[in-house]
Structure 1
Amino acid sequence: MTALRTVVVVGNPKPASRTLTAARTAAELLAQGPVDHVLDVTTLGPGLLGWGDPTVQQAVTDVATADLLVVASPTYKATYTGLLKLFLDQFAGGEGLRGVTAVPLMLGAAPTHALAPDLLLKPVLAELGAACPAPGLYLIDKDAEAHGADTPALAAYAERWGATLRASASTRAGTPVPVGAVPS
């Protein structure tokens, strides 16, 4: 099987956040291997506020060429961050993420926003052309902070949805994998 190109996008205004740690860990577990590219959107700076910034355009290209994409945000005002919105606005609607299998991931302080990844972030990713064949992932930020890469919810999600996501992503990578198959 061709290796999946796995990319992580994190829209937390705080660089090197626990959102980034959770997203990278989720991507590694889902892909069963290392992440190829991590974009901490805050590093793009003021180039996000306009159009045509070469650094932002390169970031868009890097993300658009993913097979498996984890898009993560902390929960701000019951939704994803404006920083992530600024980045996602750089993609062409309906086409920018065509062929990409995406996982919306959000961290929050309480379970009251547990549906936010599916209700708020997944529709944006789908509008940009991404396939989202699994439910979004919501993590309690204190659990993610306390457990880091060993957060039980991450392992459970990867166990339940990893094969489905790898199978979807592998169609872009060039080698379809039947659901339930373990890649070599």
Structure 2
Amino acid sequence: MNDENTAPGGYNLRSGLRLSPAQQKEIETLLTRLVQTLPAHFLLLTDVTGQVVSARGGQNAKNLVALGSLVAGDLAASQEIARLTGQYQNAQMILRQGESMHTFITEAGHQLALLVQVPDSVPLGWARILIKNAAGDLEGIVTAAAEQPSEASPALLLEEENLPDLFDGVFDELWKG
């Protein structure tokens, strides 16, 4: 990808989370394994702003951008309801039972949200445990990298695309006194 969300050797999300290529690979492997183990009909991983990180399964007829935003909004609303009623805890999960498909939405740490749809033939307890474990693993992948020191070198900071931002910052500081 060559847009504003791409950084050398990584992917920057609107939430401020930066995923390295190694993290992306770990996440993709984990999600593929989850879809196969459950089995899941559809899976969507977003950041807390609704930006799509990854999707698996029957996504042909789905608008992933809109769905990502709705997942993030649904999770945020549910978290606030839990806070207002004194029931908030980390790693909460939303379950919507349907006639043929069940939908789980869960936090995967403080920066990611995971939606998983499973057929009604999958036992809810089994799905819940696997999804909860996967969410914990996703949190671990993101947290482990956040604890590592930044690899940004002075050479990367001086790349052409960063120069206008550097100059703007310097000029702002000069004018502010």
State TM-score, norm by structure 1.
Answer: 0.25
Q: Which has the higher contact order (CA 8 A, sep 6+)?
A: 1
Higher strand share: 2
State TM-score, norm by structure 2.
Answer: 0.26
Larger CA Rg, structure 1 vs 2: 2
